[in-house]
């Protein structure tokens, strides 16, 4: 089954009698809400979408299941979501807003941290496994597929065995924070490119940077 048809069926949208989806995008930054988590490695998704919305002169408002910003980039409607469900229940918010805004799965981009990538390295893919990430795991369980675009920011794996959770929920070191801040504009450019130039071109331009 075509993946777009699958998602239309998942969301209860008729594929033959209704008009096709609008060319609209949903950009999701994963993270945990509250000051306790604000500067943790696990919240890099929030930081990237905050910078992305600021770059495009938008602002967030609190709506159902998260903070939402609505932008237009080169005429394309863009919804930016920061779920307020906490990381482990991210899929609930993503599903709700995809259905609410009638968004095709290929126009979804989920932004997250990744322990399996060297610090500061960027990687965008059209599908994949959760890689042990609880936010991606919940989205995959809600969708019943891993076939959706995701953009991962490497946080490295400089932790001792059994301390993975403490590492991702820990704050950046001063050196990491400085380097992370320098990487944010490139991340914003990559997200913008996903919307304006497409997944394949963006992967070619930014993966491994």
End-to-end CA distance of the chain: 34
Distance CA 148, CA 115 (A): 19
Digit-coded pLDDT (tens) for 42-84: 999 999 999 999 999 999 999 999 999 999 999 999 999 999 9
Q: Is 134 annotated as a binding residue?
A: yes
Q: Find the catalytic residue in 42, 47, 142, 150.
A: 42
Instruction: Give this prediction's pTM.
Output: 0.88
Query: Which DSSP symbol is given to 15?
Result: S
Number of domains comprising the chain? 1
pLDDT at 183 over 90: yes
Tell me what pLDDT residue 10 has.
Answer: 63
Residue 16 belongs to some domain of the structure: no
Q: Is 39 annotated as a binding residue?
A: no
Q: Is 159 annotated as a binding residue?
A: no
Q: Is 204 annotated as a binding residue?
A: no
Residue 63, domain CATH = 3.40.50.1470
Q: How far is CA 115 from the centre of its chain?
A: 16
Residue 15 belongs to some domain of the structure: no
Q: Determine whether 56 is an active site residue.
A: no
**Boundaries of domain holding 164:** 3-10+23-206
Residue 92 belongs to some domain of the structure: yes
Residue 17 belongs to some domain of the structure: no
12 vs 194, higher pLDDT: 194
């Amino acid at each position: 089954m075509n993946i777009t048809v699958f998602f239309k069926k998942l969301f209860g949208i008729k594929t033959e009698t209704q008009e096709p989806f609008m060319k609209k995008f949903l950009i999701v930054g994963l993270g945990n809400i509250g000051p306790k988590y604000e500067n943790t490695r696990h919240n890099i998704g929030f930081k990237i979408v905050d910078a992305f919305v600021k770059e495009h002169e938008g602002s967030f408002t609190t709506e159902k299941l998260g903070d939402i910003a609505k932008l237009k980039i080169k005429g394309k409607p863009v919804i930016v979501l920061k779920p307020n469900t906490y990381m482990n229940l991210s899929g609930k918010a993503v599903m709700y807003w995809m259905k609410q805004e009638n968004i095709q799965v290929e126009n979804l981009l989920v932004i997250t941290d990744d322990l399996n990538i060297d610090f500061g390295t960027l990687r965008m893919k059209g599908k994949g496994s959760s890689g042990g990430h609880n936010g991606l795991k919940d989205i995959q369980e809600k969708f019943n597929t891993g076939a959706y675009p995701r953009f991962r920011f490497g946080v490295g794996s400089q932790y001792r065995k059994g301390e993975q959770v403490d590492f991702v929920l820990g704050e950046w070191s001063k050196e990491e924070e400085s380097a992370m801040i320098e990487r944010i504009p490139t991340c914003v450019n990559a997200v913008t490119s996903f919307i304006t130039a497409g997944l394949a071109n963006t992967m070619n331009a930014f993966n491994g940077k």
